[in-house]
Structure 1
Amino acid sequence: MQFEFIILEWSAYADGLIHRDDWLKWADGFPQLPGPTVETVPALAEMPAMMRRRVDRLGRLACQVAYWCHPADATPMVFASRYGDAARSLSLLGDLVRNEPLSPAGFGLSVHNAVSALYSIAQGHTGNTVVVAAGRATVAAALAEAAALLADGAPEVLVVYYEAPLPASYAGFEDEAACEYAWAWRVAHPGHADRGDSPVLSLELSAGEPGSITNPDSATWPAGLAVLRQVLQAIAPQETAAPQALVRHDRTGARWTWSAHA
């Protein structure tokens, strides 16, 4: 399986990395993970106050980057997160253990599509929305969903990816470096009228086991950040050739190859 796309607009948020220039410098510099948690959570001023008060810190990161990409009202959306708001779910489990009543609002906001639902309501969005969780391969699965929506006739798709470290009780299940971040891309077919000089990005799925090809950061970095860095290196104004393809093994027996060309 292989598909190509371009990025019409992008935004991202992590500790110490908010503005586009900061992110482009980060992508071009020595490979370094952002801080594990965001020191300054976005104010999310674009969202109505009564709605905003229901959004947790990870949801604020996700909604903020979505707002910054300014999609059209009916643009299909793909929200993706490996774990979502695991801390809220763990808190609800604690209430059950203590035989305490569950908060209906807390339960409603713990489901995996809660962030996308709050954003859709605030935006008055009535288009198609898909929410994805696919383990280490979540970022690739999100782009596969976006490719399917483009193939089905959508002129563009908003992809929002967000992640946070697991709560301490779940720390033993972490198999990637823990980091709190979010990014959003508006993706389209390479032939989109507004392409400009955007490079064509390619994602290919093939059979393969770890060890066949290696890349710096490809195994231990969170997939969402490794892919974001790869893409920013490709779209940044530069005179050098596109970066070497990024190869990741985020699913047993499968190899994801991310590359770019003019």
Structure 2
Amino acid sequence: MEFNFGIRAWSAWSPGLNKPDDWLAWSARARLPHGDDAPALPEIAAMMRRRLSTLGRMALQASWWCQGDRPAMPTVFASRYGDVDRSLQLLADLERDGSVSPTGFTMSVHNAISGLYSIVREDRSNAVCVAAGQATAAAGVTEAAGLLADGAGEVMLVCYDEPLPDDYVCFRDEPQARWAWAWRLAPARAGHPRWSLASRPVPAEVRGAPAELPAGLEVLRFFLAEEARLTQHAGTVEWEWRRHG
């Protein structure tokens, strides 16, 4: 299975990395972002902004910058864990009080962030949310490629995550950081760089050297550094990202 696509625009946000030049410099000597800052997100009214967690603010800031004033388009929001802090708090509330806040539950589901984005943009386009472990970014591109194949002119992919809470420390299997990035994907065009994503089964789970970045953030580094190839493993599947031209 292989997909080909172009990337018309990109944006990203992480503590200490707020501008394109910051990210381009970072890609040459990538490090794990640190910090608890949240983007100001002035594009959204304060009443809506207050409903968002730090994760939601990062995802929507990257989304807004990437889409800009472009017309409505399908979106794919890809996050391995989503707003897991909210879900954990709901479980604590349920244990303590025997009930949960309806608003809290609404904002904890995996498509809450994408739903709020569609509301503030007044956009009724197709929206998909995916989670696929360390292959979440690849799953997002796969969904976007399907939408492009169905005739969409452009599809925005938004990838984002944050560290798992300490209660879930046993599930941490990659470096932890707060980050969000967005690509505006379109069919590949002659005379312009194009990217491909291919997958193939491998006989057994591959365990290489310890990763320095989360898998999703490594994909952004590969893109910004204009590298020719990136190979990632998720379980018994190998994903190969390639730049052509």
Partner residue, 1:240: none
Q: Deviations 1:69-90 (Å, cap 9, x if unpaired)?
A: 1253330000010001111100
Aligned amino acid, residue 83 of structure 2? D
Query: What is the correspondence of 1:227-246 to structure 2 with a 5 Å cutoff?
Result: 227-234=219-226, 243-246=227-230
Question: How many residue pairs align between the two structures?
Answer: 243
- Correspondence for 1:11: 11
Match of 2:242 in 1: 259
Q: What letter is aligned with 2:241?
A: W
Name the counterpart of 1:202: 196
Assess, with a 3 A threshold, how the Cα gap between structure 1 residues 198 and 53 changes in structure 2: closer, same or farther.
farther
Matched, 1:224 2:207: no
Q: State yes or no: 1:52 paired with 2:49.
A: yes
- After TM superposition, the structure 1 = structure 2 runs for residues 1-262 of structure 1, keeping only pairs within 5 Å, are 1-29=1-29, 31-35=30-34, 37-38=35-36, 40-70=37-67, 72-191=70-189, 198-208=192-202, 209=204, 219=211, 221-234=213-226, 243-250=227-234, 252-262=235-245
Q: Deviations over 1:59-106 (max 9, x none)?
A: 000000100012533300000100011111000001111134311100
Encode CA deviations 1:140-188: one digit per residue, 9 max, x unaligned: 0000000000000001100011100011101111100001100010010
Provide the rounded CA distance (Å) in 2 between the counterparts of 1:244 and 1:6: 15
Q: Distance in 2 between matches of 1:200 and 1:185?
A: 13
Task: Out of 138-147 and 47-56, give the one that drifted further.
Answer: 47-56
Local SS of the residue matching 1:42: coil
Tell me if structure 2 keeps the 8 A contact 1:166–1:178: yes
TM-score by length of 1: 0.88
**2 CA distance for matches of 1:83 and 1:44?**
22
Q: Single out whichever of 174-183 and 94-103 deviates more from structure 2.
A: 94-103
Which residue of the partner structure matches residue 239 of structure 1? none
CA deviations over 1:160-218 (Å, ceiling 9, x no partner): 11100011101111100001100010010112xxx8x6421111101224559x7x87x
8 Å Cα contact 1:73-1:124 kept in structure 2: no
The one-letter code sitting in structure 2 at the alignment partner of 1:245 is R
Are the aligned partners of 2:32 and 2:212 in contact in 1 as well (CA < 8 Å)?
A: no
4+ runs deviating over 4 angstroms: 209-212
Contact 2:67/2:156 (CA < 8 Å) preserved in 1?
no
2: distance between equivalents of 1:78 and 1:88?
21
Q: Distance in 2 between matches of 1:70 and 1:98?
A: 42
Calculate the aligned-residue CA RMSD, in Å: 1.8
Q: Shift of residue 244 of structure 1?
A: 4.1
Q: Which amino acid aligns with 1:2?
A: E
Question: What is the TM-score normalised by the length of structure 2?
Answer: 0.94
SS at match of 1:205: strand
Q: Distance in 2 between matches of 1:136 and 1:33?
A: 16
Cα distance in 2 between the residues matched to 1:20 and 1:210: 35
Percent identical across equivalent pairs? 49
Structure 2 residue identity aligned to 1:232: L
Q: Which SS does the other structure have where 1:202 is aligned?
A: strand
Distance 2:10 2:215 in 1: 17
Contact persistence 1:58–1:162 (CA under 8 A): yes
